[in-house]
Structure 1
Amino acid sequence: EFKAIQERVAKFVKQGRLGIFGNGYWGNPHYKLTPEQNLIGVAHYLLALDVQRDMAKMQAIFGGKNPHPQSIVVGGVTCVQDIQNPARLALFKSLLLQGTKFVKEAYLPDVYMAGTMYAGEATDSKATFSELMGGKGVGGTGGGLLNFMSYGDFRLDDTGFYKSALLFPKGVVMGGDISKVLPLDEEKIMEDVTHSWYKGDKPLHPYDGQTIPEYTGLDRRENGDAYLKTKEKYSWIKSPIYNDARVEVGPLARMVIGVASKDERITKYVTNFLTRGNLPVTVLFSTVGRTAARAVETELMADVMVEWIDELTKNVLSGDKSTWTEFDFDAVSVSAKGRGMAEAPRGALGHWVRIEEGKVANYQAIVPSTWNAAPRDHKNRLGAYEASLIGTKVANPEQPLEIIRTIHSFDPCIACAVHVVDTKGKELAVYKVDTSCSI
């Protein structure tokens, strides 16, 4: 099978059809995998394209389409016929088991393979942001803030939102100290715009948040290139703060908080991964650890979903075909506020709305990549991306492979914060959207 993949890739190379491999930094000394390991990785990458398609089919069964499901409505879901159809339930489980097989037999082994080759970086405590700032200095390259937050998600029973057991516990871990988890206080969530292209002079809670653009332009031009005003405003992303501290969110945060909370299931999966790889727990606090956490969480979720689809099938067969819970909008006054807080794939996701006189007066959202990709705050403290790069050793500044690898470990999703810019500093176009017109 690997020989066939090798020949297939060789044909691509001869035809100049390198695709995603066309812009690699070939020859860079920090490419550490052997030719044989690279072949395994490429083979599994090509296989993953098929697996990904089947995962999209799974979501389409109950969600209507991928990636943004159509079936979710207030009170429940609209995919009644699919939930009540044994054939559709069976198809979902069949696709899930195929995906689980790939996770356990290809995805996780590949992470072990890469982790073994980059083990030195994963345990290089001298390269962490915490040590450079006088902290504990645990972990390795890409460790970053060592502060983690999770809103908690996936209720496992029907005892109510605040009392239900959660698959992912909520809480905060500070300074990489997994001996304790701090309770999450929603009132301590703020957003700052000191270094963001928005108006504002102090951190605000999302209920009171403002999003008023204030683009201040670029800084100097040098050798034909324009530079950002990094000492002033330099990003369209705001800077979220929790309890006057910067935190990281995402799969690594969920795994760290799960272990710190002594959650039996999460601790089992994380411990198994570290044991099989003969790795210390401090390896989690690194680029390698962040990448591994996503794989560990994927294995956990795959196994849990098998339990969930079996539970759903059992309920349907026993006659429980409810897909919707009745609610009453009249219970909401004309002036109110509310929020939705969940764990999206990339981390903590929150939406806050304030209603006055029956109309939306303010609506703010802090998405996972806002927490991680944010610029410095009013105290000049770095966000998760920026902090993770401190101390990174770059073999060739013209080929910033190591920087890209660390940023990729967060799985960035910042399309809504990316604006088209001419790197020479030339203004391309200006648009004004009139939001006052009525339809």
Structure 2
Amino acid sequence: MTERVVVDPITRIEGHLRIEAQMNGKQIDAAYSSGTMVRGIELIMQGRDPRDAWAYAQRICGVCTLVHGIASVRAVEDALDYEIPPNAQLIRNLMIAAQYVHDHVMHFYHLHALDWVDVVSALQADPKATAELAQSLSNWPKASAGYFADTQKRLKTFVEAGQLGIFAKAYWGHPAYKLPPEANLMAVSHYLEALEWQRDVVKLHAVFGGKNPHPMFLVGGTPNPIDLDSDSAVNASRLALVQTIIDKMRTFVDQVYVPDTLAVAGFYKDWFYRGEGLGNFLVFGDFPSAEAGTNLRDPGSWWIPPGAIVDRNLNEVQEVDMRADAEIQEFVAHSWYDYEDGNDKGLHPWKGETKFDYQGRGGPDTPYKQLNVDDGYSWLKSPRWKGKPMEVGPLARVLVLYAKGDEATRALVDDTLGKLGADKRALFSTLGRTAARTLETKLIADKMQSWMDSLMANIKAGNTRTFNETLWEPSSWPSEAKGVGFMEAPRGGLAHYIVIKDEKIDNYQAVVPSTWNAGPRDPQNQAGAYEAALADNHELHDPKQPVEILRTIHSFDPCIACAVHLTDEDGEEMLQVKVR
């Protein structure tokens, strides 16, 4: 059997992911992506009150809690044709946007930067030269020689003690690292600053949702009332705190995150030409206008519009219908699931099935360390749009906004490409994906101010309503209803599909971003986004230290949903988690 490089687990992600790369010498010929833990939330949902679904849906993931809550309440509101007040939409937009900014910054510094930054090399840096470099990039106040010297001393203590802690388990000294020591020291310093920064910015979710993680939601609006004079509501001081947080977010993004991305990208321009793969991009859309309420059936009111780009054709953005049976389908031909009518057919999520069928990791003639890719090899399904594998995420959103003519997006993308001496083709790559996430963060952080201004204007005009008080009693619901709640999570398009019968959940399916990107091959043997990207111009300098694989996989910011079932290698159940 052809030699494969196996990376299991892929670290610095949420969840459990295995990658196998089939090699031709040092070149990757084919790659296989395996989600090694299984979700089961869909089964837990059955028979429950739809208004409680969001609380369970948030437990799909320990990182993306807010987005699953939003998608879930939208699904119920869509099924029951239930509008929400403008203030509730503005607050939801602010909460989603805060999740983006927090998540993207954390991903860049704490999950992805170490693929490009050699931490140990920072010990050789000249703090004075590092300060000069940092000051040439932005006006960030923490850019003195003394500051960088102090950081270097802290790092030296870790290294000499053999206790790298958060910087452990990496390929320091690998020849694929290209940053000079001073750039490495600057990046390490900002890594540590981002840890402190994120502690403050998550407070926005606590103001509007009561806590973080797992903020509170409410079908029909938002849970915390607005009362400027109440200590137990969203009052004047808490709104002032939200404004402070927005300001803090925008400052860090403008003065640290964006300059650091440009600085790092300038040393790795060869990565603008590898790691694309599919060339197909899908966006569900998000950030409805406040006047439209939820109005998920009128995408013309959304800031991020829905659309599909096929074969990198930016001259045509195709329409997307989340409800059409022939558009969104999930396949399980190479997954550890079983469909009642055969595994070569795709199912629209309203008709989706979640039946586990673990088949192990290969037959008697297959080494355990390798997946049996001719059969099922992942706990993830394979979503397809009109039969096509699609990439979702920041790059897809930036491309659709750019193709649709959004002025701020076009100006920012063109300016960034100009600074890096690259053309639009560079966007379709590993580094283009990373850069798009940074640019999207700035666009969203800037957009937050307009939503905050609108919210404050409503409050000053005496409109403090955040909930639709005419919540229907279940006895008034139709005997059967179905809805879809979709949005753009930081990692890409997220959709929750619900079928309600006799006031209870009859079927519930969550089609998550990393299922689109990390899913295995489909019945036509079409690779998913991860698999295709790794097979696109990847050569490993050292198969025992595959930092190149980590760079491309991390550029998607994997988040493999949390599991509620465990099986051993023979498919036997090891643990049951019961929800009472």
Report the CA distance between 1:235 and its aligned residue: 0.2
Task: Give the one of 198, 205, 216 matched to 1:52.
Answer: 198
Helix, strand or coil at the partner of 1:52: helix
In the alignment, structure 1 residue 165 sits paired with structure 2 residue 310: no
- Aligned residue in 2 for 1:383: 528
Task: Report matched runs for 1:313-352 at 5 Å.
Answer: 313-329=456-472, 332-352=477-497
Helix, strand or coil at the partner of 2:574: coil
- Aligned residue in 2 for 1:93: 243
Task: Give the one of 35, 39, 43 matched to 2:185.
Answer: 39
**Distance in 2 (alpha carbons) for counterparts of 1:385 and 1:418:** 24
- Aligned residue in 1 for 2:352: 209
Report the CA distance between 1:20 and its aligned residue: 2.3
- The change in CA–CA distance for 1:26 and 1:418 in structure 2 (over 3 A counts) is farther
**Distance in 1 (alpha carbons) for counterparts of 2:441 and 2:357:** 40
**Distance in 1 (alpha carbons) for counterparts of 2:317 and 2:479:** 38
Residue type matched to 2:161 in 1?
Q
- Aligned residue in 2 for 1:77: 222
Which of the pair has the greater relative contact order for Cα pairs under 8 Å at 6+ separation?
2
Residue type matched to 2:349 in 1?
P
- The change in CA–CA distance for 1:434 and 1:156 in structure 2 (over 3 A counts) is closer
Q: In 1, are the aligned partners of 2:564 and 2:576 still within 8 Å (CA)?
A: no
Q: For residues 304-361 of structure 1, give each alpha carbon's deviation from its aligned partner in whole angstroms, at most 9, with x where no partner exists.
A: 1122212212221221111112444365311121111111111111111122344322
Count of equivalent residues: 416
**Distance in 2 (alpha carbons) for counterparts of 1:178 and 1:111:** 24
Bigger Cα displacement from structure 2, 322-331 vs 112-121: 322-331
Q: In 1, are the aligned partners of 2:338 and 2:356 still within 8 Å (CA)?
A: yes
- The change in CA–CA distance for 1:403 and 1:223 in structure 2 (over 3 A counts) is same
- The change in CA–CA distance for 1:20 and 1:221 in structure 2 (over 3 A counts) is farther
Task: Give the one of 261, 266, 276 matched to 1:116.
Answer: 266
Report the CA distance between 1:406 and its aligned residue: 0.6
Q: In 2, are the aligned partners of 1:84 and 1:316 still within 8 Å (CA)?
A: no
Unaligned stretches of 5+ in structure 2? 1-146, 228-232
Task: Give the one of 317, 332, 336 matched to 1:197.
Answer: 336
Q: In 1, are the aligned partners of 2:564 and 2:577 still within 8 Å (CA)?
A: no
Report the CA distance between 1:116 and its aligned residue: 0.7
Task: Report matched runs for 1:55-66 at 5 Å.
Answer: 55-66=201-212
TM-score, normalised to structure 1, is 0.89
**Distance in 1 (alpha carbons) for counterparts of 2:220 and 2:166:** 42
Report the CA distance between 1:157 and its aligned residue: 4.2
Residue type matched to 1:307 in 2?
S
Task: Give the one of 147, 172, 179 matched to 2:315.
Answer: 179
**Distance in 2 (alpha carbons) for counterparts of 1:356 and 1:21:** 51
In the alignment, structure 1 residue 278 sits paired with structure 2 residue 421: yes
**Distance in 2 (alpha carbons) for counterparts of 1:120 and 1:401:** 15
Report the CA distance between 1:85 and its aligned residue: 1.6
**Distance in 2 (alpha carbons) for counterparts of 1:76 and 1:212:** 34
Report the CA distance between 1:225 and its aligned residue: 4.7
Helix, strand or coil at the partner of 2:291: coil
Q: For residues 58-103 of structure 1, give each alpha carbon's deviation from its aligned partner in whole angstroms, at most 9, with x where no partner exists.
A: 2211121223211x20111122147752211111111221221111
Task: Give the one of 402, 405, 408 matched to 1:262.
Answer: 405
Residue type matched to 1:10 in 2?
K
Q: Percent identity?
A: 43
Report the CA distance between 1:194 and its aligned residue: 0.3
Residue type matched to 1:155 in 2?
P
Residue type matched to 1:381 in 2?
Q
- The change in CA–CA distance for 1:418 and 1:297 in structure 2 (over 3 A counts) is farther
- Aligned residue in 2 for 1:18: 164
Q: For residues 94-125 of structure 1, give each alpha carbon's deviation from its aligned partner in whole angstroms, at most 9, with x where no partner exists.
A: 12212211111111111111111111220xxx
- The change in CA–CA distance for 1:271 and 1:326 in structure 2 (over 3 A counts) is farther
Report the CA distance between 1:426 and its aligned residue: 7.3
- The change in CA–CA distance for 1:352 and 1:415 in structure 2 (over 3 A counts) is closer
Q: For residues 260-297 of structure 1, give each alpha carbon's deviation from its aligned partner in whole angstroms, at most 9, with x where no partner exists.
A: 11122322332232233332111111110111111111
In the alignment, structure 1 residue 230 sits paired with structure 2 residue 373: yes
TM-score, normalised to structure 2, is 0.68
Helix, strand or coil at the partner of 1:212: coil
Report the CA distance between 1:255 and its aligned residue: 0.4
